[in-house]
Amino acid sequence: MPRRTWLMSRMFHLGFFSSFSPPAWHAATDRAHGEDWWSGDYHARLARHVEEACFDFLFFEDTSGVSRMFGGSMDTDLKNSLSAPKNDPVALISYLSAVTTRLGLISTASTTLYPPYLLARLYSTVDGLSRGRAGWNIVTSSEEESAHNYGYEALPPPGERYDRAEEFVDVARQLWTSWEEGAVVRDHDRGIHTDPAKVHEINHVGKHFKVRGPLNSFPSPQRVPVLAQAGGSPRGRDFAARNAELIMATTIGGIDAMRAFREDIHGRMKTFGRSPDECRIMYATHVHVTDGSRDLRSTVTDSQLVSMLGKHAAHIGVDLFQYDLDAPLPEDVVANGTTSMLDSIKDKGRQGITLREAILDICLGDDELGVVGTADDIAHNLAGAMEAVGGDGFIIMATQNANEEHVSGILDEVVPRLQRMGVARTGYSGATLRENLFAF
């Protein structure tokens, strides 16, 4: 792609997308480090590396089941390491908080599966351990299997999941603020550790939850972890506009769609009485540094394609393997999972794009932004795209078949170029994730 000419001025934020699962299983080379991924060592190295590159945060996605979304069996998931094994990312970020000092650490937990008290206490604890660097990616879960592991007969429909999520966040917020500022006095002379007059029951009784409170954990440095969310449907956008401080969006549809999403969210925020300044909108994008060749598709092996299809089948809640890969996905397919992802595959189908190509577009980046290429081109195009969209940054994903060399290409080659262009930070001005996220 020829370089576009952009006027660049604004700094933007960077996050790195990861998963507490075997790294680079599908990479063609460099597989050795995957063997003891569960020890946290691989992610500790990654976290230090991401911190050296001055990213705002390292983000961990999560799901809670072994998928049977391929012909009713777990075989495809397990053989291809699609959604299992995957360990708990909240435990991982506790560990990572001890091996980093400035990097924000965001992990995912589901409002459909967790009880709010457990979650509020857990994140309060992690925020303390990390000295204020914790974030919570609020998801409602989109896989049937997760629901079966937590007592549901079926995953509740999306609207119901968001209803529960609204009440959940309201309860969690009340718990996090159930200790007033100054409640902990530690007055040895009077024999008072915590002033009982400043700690309050919340006595919440709602449709989904009954919680007395207060929280029994120590008020953490940020009080409330940074609340992140990634809902693309109208209901998801409303939820995010009302609650989130960080929205993780996609780059699907290119710059026009990214700008439209940002405007839409800002409009919704105003409806809920919030200023657009109270939320950062960051776009998750695959980035792949190559020595010039931009033809990633020809490097995708059958096993990688199965993996891409399988992951998306589980997210969407449809067995994609039953459809013709070389035809557009039929219009009448319905699902109970990630509806916005299904919609974008159908949108592509309407333009004559086959299921195979749609999945490759989503997994490798359809490169409308120019994020496959040399480090120079990628840095230039990321900065240009951000200037055209208006903010607030990118969450960088190594592509499906990325190995350590590719990760290093991003952190050691693309990021320094962004820093030299003056659009990425070269140091941390704040101590907490929230301070850094809202520093500019």
Ligand X SMILES: Cc1cc2nc3c(=O)[nH]c(=O)nc-3n(C[C@H](O)[C@H](O)[C@H](O)COP(=O)(O)O)c2cc1C
- Contact track, ligand X, 398-417, x by CB under 6 A: --------------------
According to DSSP, the β-strands at 204-205 and 210-211 are antiparallel
Nearest to 370 by CA among 255, 262, 257, 247: 255
Among 40, 213, 221, 231, binds ligand X (CB under 6 A): 231
Residue 265 tokens, joined: 């969210």
CB of 62 to ligand X, least distance (A): 5
Q: Answer yes or no: are the C-beta atoms of 289 and 374 closer than 8 Å.
A: yes
Residue 339 touching ligand X (CB under 6 A): yes
Q: Does 338 bind ligand X (CB under 6 A)?
A: yes
**Quick check: 43 and 119 in contact, CB under 8 A?**
no
Q: Give the total of residues touching ligand X (CB under 6 A).
A: 21
323 among the known binding-site residues? no
In whole angstroms, the minimum distance from the beta carbon of 345 to ligand X comes to 13
Q: How far is the CB of 334 from ligand X (least distance, A)?
A: 13
Apex CA 291: angle with CA 290 and CA 297, to 5°? Answer: 45
Of the pair 339, 436, the CB lying nearest ligand X is at 339
Among 140, 344, 399, 403, binds ligand X (CB under 6 A): 140
62 in a known ligand binding site: yes
Instruction: Compare residues 115 and 430 and give the one whose CB is closer to ligand X.
Output: 115
| Contacts of ligand X in 247-276 (CB under 6 A) | 248, 250
CA dihedral (252, 390, 227, 242) in degrees, to 10, reads: -90
* 21 vs 338 by CB, closer to ligand X: 338
x/- binding map, residues 50-79, to ligand X, per CB under 6 A? -----------xxx----------------
Q: DSSP letter at 419? A: H
Structure tokens at 81: 């390491």
CA 235 to chain centre: 18
Handedness of CA 102, 103, 105, 106 (dihedral sign): positive
Q: Does 419 bind ligand X (CB under 6 A)?
A: no
| Selected binder of ligand X within 15, 22, 213, 236 (CB under 6 A) | 236
Per-residue contact flags (x/-) with ligand X for residues 304 to 333, judged by CB under 6 A = ------------------------------
Token match 């989109």: residue?
Answer: 142
State both tokens at 226.
């940074």
- b/e map of 143-177 (b: 16 or more CB within 10 Å)? bbbbbeeeeeeebbebeebbbbbbbbbbbbbbbbb
Q: How far apart are CA 409 and CA 116, in angstroms?
A: 40
- Residue 109 is a binding residue for ligand X (CB under 6 A): no
Q: Compute the least distance from the CB of residue 106 to ligand X, in Å.
A: 10
Q: Which residues contact 335 (CB under 8 A, 6 or more apart)?
A: 316, 317, 318, 342
Q: Counting contacts by CB under 6 A, is residue 87 touching ligand X?
A: no
Q: How many residues does the chain have?
A: 440
Stretch that binds ligand X, among 43-51, 111-119, 199-207, 229-237 (CB under 6 A): 229-237
288/380 with CB nearer ligand X:
288
Asked if residue 81 binds ligand X (CB under 6 A), the reply is no
Binding site residue list for FMN: 62, 108, 162, 233
Q: List residues binding ligand X (CB under 6 A).
A: 61-63, 108, 137, 139-142, 158, 230-233, 236, 248, 250, 284, 338-340
